[in-house]
Amino acid sequence: MSPFGLLPMRAWASLFSQVLRPSGLVCIREVHFHSQVSEAVLTSQLKPHQEKSNFIIKTPKGTRDLSPQQMVVREKILDMVVGCFKRHGAKRLDTPAFELKEMLTEKYGEDSGLIYDLKDQGGELLSLRYDLTVPFARYLAMYKVKKMKRYQVGKVWRRESPTIVQGRYREFCQCDFDIAGQFDPMIPDAECLKIMCEILSGLQLGDFLIKVNDRRILDGMLAVCGVPESKFHAICTSIDKLDKISWNDVRHEMVAKKGLAPEVADRIGDYVQCHGGVSLVEEMFQDSRLSQNKQALEGLGDLKLLFEYLTLFGIAEKISFDLSLARGLDYYTGVIYEAVLLQTPAQAEESFNVGSVAAGGRYDGLVGMFDPRGHKVPCVGLSIGVERIFAILEQRMKTSGQKIRTTETQVFVATPQKNFLHERLKLISELWDAGIKAELLYKNNPKLLTQLHYCEQMGIPLVVIIGEQELKEGVIKLRSVASREEVAIKRENLVAEIQKTLSES
């Protein structure tokens, strides 16, 4: 039986594969499985004599509980992602939820303000981790690990203005895969892109594209366009907005707000509006300005090699060299990439851009920032944006109206008679001890109809029924909830018969 019970594997597959209305980037709206979520902010009135003001029962801003239905979807996604990481030979690592505050400083640029600090309660100054990359680099430096292919799944925390409607939370789950070590160029980088393709295809999220660029090309481009080095960061931030606002608006911001000369902005515009495949890499090699810049040439050389490997992996057509891709984080030093979905789920009322669903890049200097002697360990990796993928699949499930089982119970122990609790307890204990997933109602004398109704409601496939008559004859009735057929089986064969029935279904 499918672990999703009521939802057979075929239906589950169709859930992942459902064809979406193609119209640019994915547009979805936030969906809640809790019908009560809209009323979830409740006021708890304490008894008057406690003289305490009313308080509101809620989760902290930007965070949420995940209901059992949501957890089923979440775990399905994580299983697929982790399955892919294991297929590529990664080991699992875990690090604490918080780090010494100083471990996180000077790693995230402008985003540092979004780090959650812990209160100074007399001891070390601590911060909640902002991603899984910096803790990984800290781990490599601390244990002097020079080579490692690891994955990590865990929550990270960022004090962003939560626009929950876009699937942005202050607490969210990341799935990271990274390859650390000195290797021949672009082989691990190409594997990272292959992994992103495998995961996005595997989750059947619809068509997607991975934008690729290189920090060195970006810096080289800014330099040859005439941007003063002091403005690189600010201009990158503007360029990064090109997936949300038009070039004209970005240009205006560069000139009016960031004081760039209009002709410099126009030169940038010529580049950042370019995207294409390996032919664009060749074109840029010939570019009169870019070809003068050593850094840019190095980046272009690596991208050319990367495309060679991507072709061998059969994924080159999924990759777009995009000169507007900047990526916010400070620690990237080479190739960077970001996956976006190209389709729109049907029936979305209010549409929005889910943004990137996976991203990553090369960060060759980060480990060295932790190492006592500054020894570098080159790294490249990727992070899967589980929350956004989750929002898409949750929406799809809601649209499809499919019911998901939240338990895996195989057998329910029922009785039509009063005073049969002892027999039910003995019986269910036998089932549990045999590894069979079983439940009963916590009532001394439940009605048979209530018991059978519970099975239908919960999608439990089998019921064993014991009563006066059965007890006398040394038998048990085994009932199929779907067909309502019942067979009498010998009490002593109970476990074997159930196992047989379950293995056949």
Task: Tell which positions 355-374 bind its own copies, by CB under 8 A.
Answer: 370-374
Indicate which single residue of 9, 425, 482, 488 sits in contact with its own copies (rule: CB under 8 A): 425
432 part of the interface to its own copies, by CB under 8 A: yes
Residues 6+ apart with CB under 8 A from 3: 408
Instruction: Establish whether 170 is an annotated binding residue.
Output: no
Instruction: Establish whether 158 is an annotated binding residue.
Output: yes
179 part of the interface to its own copies, by CB under 8 A: yes
Which CB, 213 or 409, lies closer to its own copies?
Answer: 409
Which CB, 57 or 449, lies closer to its own copies?
Answer: 57
How far is Cα 319 from Cα 83, in angstroms, rounded to an integer? 23
181 part of the interface to its own copies, by CB under 8 A: yes
How far is Cα 338 from Cα 343, in angstroms, rounded to an integer? 16
How far is Cα 481 from Cα 421, in angstroms, rounded to an integer? 21
* SS3 of residue 323 by DSSP: coil
Q: Check if the beta carbon of residue 82 is closer than 8 Å to that of residue 151.
A: yes
Instruction: Establish whether 59 is an annotated binding residue.
Output: no
245 part of the interface to its own copies, by CB under 8 A: no
**Got the DSSP string for 338-350?**
EEEE--B-TT-SS
Provide the phi-psi class of 61: left if phi over 0, else alpha when psi is between -120 and 50, else beta: beta
Which CB, 121 or 503, lies closer to its own copies?
Answer: 121
Strand order in the sheet with 438-439: 438-439, 411-414, 462-465, 475-480, 486-490
Which CB, 71 or 342, lies closer to its own copies?
Answer: 71
Instruction: Name which of residues 440 to 499 contact its own copies (CB under 8 A).
Output: 442-444
CB of 34 to its own copies, least distance (A): 6
Residue where the block lists tokens 């109206």 = 401
Residues 6+ apart with CB under 8 A from 84: 195, 198, 199, 202
Residues near its own copies (CB under 8 A), total: 101
Which CB, 40 or 274, lies closer to its own copies?
Answer: 40
160 part of the interface to its own copies, by CB under 8 A: no
What single letter denotes the amino acid at residue 138? R
- Per-residue string for binding with its own copies, 270-299, x by CB under 8 A? ------------------------------
DSSP strand pairing (462-465 vs 475-480): antiparallel
Please give the C-alpha separations between residue 377 and each of 302, 334, 373, in angstroms, as whole numbers: 18, 14, 12
75 part of the interface to its own copies, by CB under 8 A: yes
CB of 260 to its own copies, least distance (A): 30
407 part of the interface to its own copies, by CB under 8 A: yes
CB of 322 to its own copies, least distance (A): 24
Instruction: Establish whether 462 is an annotated binding residue.
Output: no
Tokens of 239: 């360029």
177 part of the interface to its own copies, by CB under 8 A: no
Nearest to 212 by CA among 372, 57, 332, 41: 332
2 part of the interface to its own copies, by CB under 8 A: no
Instruction: Establish whether 178 is an annotated binding residue.
Output: yes
DSSP code, position 37 = G
DSSP code, position 155 = E
Q: What's the half-sphere exposure (Cβ side, CA atoms, 13 Å) at 183? A: 16
Indicate which single residue of 28, 80, 90, 359 sits in contact with its own copies (rule: CB under 8 A): 90
Indicate which single residue of 30, 171, 240, 287 sits in contact with its own copies (rule: CB under 8 A): 171
Which CB, 134 or 260, lies closer to its own copies?
Answer: 134
Which CB, 11 or 458, lies closer to its own copies?
Answer: 458
Instruction: Name which of residues 12 to 41 contact its own copies (CB under 8 A).
Output: 34, 36, 40
Q: Return the H-helix or E-strand segment holding 15.
A: helix 9-17
95 part of the interface to its own copies, by CB under 8 A: yes
CB of 130 to its own copies, least distance (A): 13
How far is Cα 166 from Cα 355, in angstroms, rounded to an integer? 9
Which residues are annotated as part of the binding site for L-histidine? 131-133, 158, 174, 178, 327, 331-332
Annotated binding site: 131-133, 158, 174, 178, 327, 331-332
